[in-house]
Amino acid sequence: MAKFQIQQTSSTVNWTGKKVLGLHTGRINIANGYIEIKDNNISGGEIQIDMTSIVITDIVDKKTNHDFLEHLLNDDFFSVDKFKTSKLIITGSNKIEINKFKIDGNLIIKDISHPVSFIATVEVFTNTLHSLGEIVIDRTIYNIRYGSGKFIDNLGDKLIYDDFVLQFKLVGQA
């Protein structure tokens, strides 16, 4: 079995949240983590996300960016003062084709855990792992209900879609 430590400076996580009249984008940092490979399959791992590192990349105006960031950090969204990290615990995978896997695990946001599955490419070059993928997350199952049409009627153009997307590039060293 090989264990690859995630390299924070080489790895990226980008997020996208959509609403009726557009979308917002940003980045978030990996605090630490690892991926385990056994018999050419992803057998386990854990990726911790530093929720205090959320950055908004699509809003140029400093005050608007700051106000929106404060909104994301507060109890309407991620309650970062109470939950400084989120994490993905990888429980296993199935190989779909060469270097492409369906990865299964549990995603924990705000101390609420739900199973997730997603597709990722994973390649190992000697002692370096490269992985690219995307996870679509229904924020409402993590008690993030602000602006959701499931819980608030007549939002009109203020509706925020329940799914948000994390696109990641991970680099790990054995």
pLDDT tens figures, 132-154:
999 998 888 787 665 544 444 44
CB 19 within 8 A of CB 147: yes
Q: Which two tokens stand for residue 165?
A: 């997307």
| Beta-carbon contacts of residue 48 (< 8 Å; ≥ 6 apart) | 30, 31, 32, 33, 85, 86, 87
Query: What's the predicted TM-score (pTM) here?
Result: 0.87
Among 164, 99, 94, which Cα is nearest to 131's? Answer: 99
Residue percentage of the chain with pLDDT more than 90: 68
Instruction: Enumerate domains of the chain plus CATH numbers.
Output: 2-173 (2.40.128.110)
pLDDT of res. 75:
82
pLDDT in tens, 20-41: 677 889 999 999 999 999 988 9
